[in-house]
Structure 1
Amino acid sequence: MRSPAQIDETNNDLPIVILGGGFAGLFAALHLRDLHSGPIILIDQSWNFVFKPLLYELLSSEVKLELICPRYDALLHKSGITFVLGRVEAIDLDQKQVKLNGLTYSYRYLVLALGSTTSYFGIPGAKEHTRSFRTAYDTFALGQHLRNRLQIATQTEDIEERRAMLTVAIVGGGASGVEMAATLADLLPTWYIPLGGNPQDIRIVILQRGSEILKESKSDRLRETAQSALQERTASVNILLGSEVKAVHPGTVEFERNGQRWRLAAATVIWTTGNATNPVIDSLPIPAENRDEHNRLLVKPTLQLPEFPEVFAAGDCAIDPSNPQPAIAQVAYQQGAAIAHNIKALIAGKSPTPATVNLRGTLMKLGLHESAVEICDRYEVKGQLGQAIRLATYLELMPTPARNFINRTGWFTEEILKRITTV
C-alpha cells in the first residue's frame, strides 16, 4: 500500500466520482462544477434528491413534492455533471475503482457520501412491522396508511379496535420522533373531523428509551419548548420515558418500563430511531482504529481518509473525531462545499484545509405551521414566525426553483436574524 500522504496523479483525465446524492454529495458536485472543468460523476440509487428535513411538510401538504424531491437530471441539467442511477456494489480503494450495474468506474478523486441506513437493533418484528420516514415514498405510504386507519375507526363498533386504529406509536424521542409526533397530533384531526370523528380520540404515544426527549440536544430550553408544544397540540401526545421496545407485532408494540412488560395496541408504529452505516461503507478495508463505535469512517479535518488521501467522506457515514458535528443537513451541505474546495486545491498542487462548519441554529417543526428556532443557542423564536424562519432557512439551501422564492424572501430571513442577534 502506498504512503498515506501520497496521491497518485498519473492519470489526471480520470473523473471525480461522488457516491451518494444527499446534501454532502450533491453540494460537493455543484460546487465542483463551479471550481473544476474536468469530468464529474454523481452516482445515486434514486432518481430524486430528497430534502429530508421537509418531509413533514410533504406529509401535511404544506409544500409540494417537486419542491423537495427534484430529479437529479433536472438539477444537473447543462451542468456538465454526469448522473448515474445505480446501487454501488463494491469499491476498490487500492485500484481506485467503483463497481455498479456491471460496470467499473475509475476515479481520480472519490467522495463517499452514502448516508446511513436504519438500524433496528435486532428487535424482533421491528423491521417488518414498523414504518420508516426517509423518502417521499415513505411519506406518501404513511399518509395513505393513516387515512385508511381513520376510515376504519369511523366504521367499527368495537371500542378496543377503534382505539387501536386511532393510536400511533412513535419509537424514539429524538428530534425526528418529536417532529413526527407534533405534526401528526395536528394533522390527523384535520383528516378525522370531516369523517365525523372526534379528534380527542386520537392518541400519539412516544416510546423513548432514555430519561428525556431530545437527548442529543444541549439546550434545556429547546427541550422544554418541545415538551410544552407537544401538550398544546390538537390531539393528545403521551411521552413514555424509560420505555425500551422489546418486540413489535402486527398492531402491537411490546416494551419494558419500570421493570414491567407492557403491550401497546397501535395500528401504526413509526420507527424514528437508530442509524447504521451503509453496507458499502461497512465492507471497505478500513481498520477498526479508523472507525468510531458506530462504524463510521474517521476522517482528517480536511475530510480525507487517513490511508487514502484521494478519498473524501462526509455526512452520516463519516466523522472528524477532532471536531465532531451532528448528522444534520446544514452540516452535510457545508462539508460538501469544503470537499469541493479541497479537491480543487489538490488539483492545483496546493494543500487542503480543514473544513469549517458554522451552525446557524436548531430548527424544529412543532406542529402544523409552527416551529421552534434556536439561533446560536442563545435566542429562540417560536410559533408561526419560527416556522417562517425555518422554511426560509431550509429553502435557501435548495438547489431548485425554490431560489426564486428566496429571492423574494431572503431579505426577510436576514432581517429577522439580524434583529434577533443584536438584541
Structure 2
Amino acid sequence: MLPHPPASQWQDAVQNMLALQRPEQAEQLVRQQLTRNPQDVFTHILLAFALYQQHRLDGARQAAQQALALNPAASEAFYVLFLVEDQAGHGAARARALRSALRLQPFNSKYLAAQAQLYLHQNQPAAAQAAAEQGLAHHPTHADCLVARADALRAQHRWPELAPALQQLLAAHPNLPKAHLLLGHEAMRQKQYGAAQAHFQDVLRLQPLNQEALQEASQAIRRQLLISRWALGLDQYLTFISEGTKKGQLKAWGHFLLILIPLSLLCIPLLLFMGFEAVYWRLHPQVRRLRNRPDAAMPYAQETLYRYGPAAALSLLVISLLPGLIWGLLQLGVGEDSLGPGLTGGLTTVVMAIIGAFKHASDQPVPEKSPLGGVGVAAAVFAGSITVACWPAAWPYGPPLSVLVAGGLLVYIFRRMGAAAA
C-alpha cells in the first residue's frame, strides 16, 4: 500500500489545481481524502470549491453546508456559499452568506473585496470603495481589493484618484489581466488609443480567450484610423444636435437649422460613409491578427474596395430609384404630409437592406475582379437621378428615365448573380 501524502501537501496540491482551473482533478483527490477522513471540515470546503468551479451548484451548496454542520464557525464555507448563491442569482441568500463570513472574520480582505463587488453590483460605488479600502488597510496588495477600489473610483468618475490607484494595482500585480484591462479602459477614456491597444494586447497575452480584451483591442485600433476618427466626430456632432434639441438648447437648435437642408440631401451618403467605416477597420492587418486571421494577400484598402465595392454599387442603384419614384408620387397628387410616414418606413427598409448586403459581403470570399467600374457607373446613376428629380428643366421625362436606367441595371445585376449561383 502506497503511503499517503501529508495533509498539508495534498491540500496544497488541491488548491493549486483549483488555481489552474482543473477542478475535476481536484475533486478526485478531495473525494479520496474524504473516504479516509469524512469529518474533516476543510476537505468539505475544498470539495465545495471544486464543484463550484464545475458549475455544479447544488453539490457545492451541499458540501459547504456539510462543512458548516461540522463547524458552524467555518467562515470559508460561508464564502463558498456566497459564490454559489451569486452564480445561482439568489440575491438574498448571497448577501446572508457574505454577512456571516464577515461576522466571523470582519478583517478578511478576500471577504471585504467580495463585499465591495457586491456594492458595485448594487450601484453603490462609494460603499464599495470604503469596503475595498478597509481590506487594503489589512492587506495593502490584495488584488481583488485593488481591483474593486479602481472599479469604484471609475464608477464615481474620480479620475485624479483613479490614475494612482491603477498604477498601484499594476505595480503589485504586473501579470494580472484585470489590471491591464482597467488601464486600457482608462487610456481609451483619455483617447490614448495606442496605449490602450498595448494594454488590451497584454490582456490577450495573459488570457488569449478574453473576448472583452479582443473587442476593446479592435476598437483601439479602429480609433487610430483617420476615417474612424472622422466617423466618431460626425457621430458625436449628430448626437449633440439630437440630444441638444430634445433639451431645448439654443446652440443645438442653431446647428440643426443650419444643416437641416444640407443634411436632408446628404443623409444617405452619410449613412453609407458611416456603414463603410464600420466594416473598413475590421480588415485592418492588426485587427486580423488579433482575430487569428491570415494577413491579406492584397493591400488593405484594395481588399476593402474589392470586398465591399459590389455591395456599395448595388446600394447606390437601389437608392437611385427613390428620387424618381418620389417625384412620380408627388406628380400624381400624393400630399407631402401623407408621403412623409411612408417615406420614413421605406428609407428604414432600404437602410436595413444595405446593412444586410454589407454583412453578407463580409462573409464572402474577396472577388478577383475590380468593382471600381461598377461603383463608378452606380455613382453616376445616383447623381443623375438626384439631378433630374430636382431640376425642372428635365421634367417630365428625366425622373422616369432615371428609374428605368437604375431598374434595368438592377435587373441585369440580379440576373448575373442568379446565373453565377446556378
Q: Which has the higher strand share?
A: 1
Larger Rg: 2
Q: TM-score range by the shorter chain?
A: under 0.3
More helix, by proportion: 2
TM-score of the pair, normalised by structure 1: 0.24
Question: TM-score under structure 2 normalisation?
Answer: 0.24
Larger RCO (CA within 8 A; separation ≥ 6) = 1
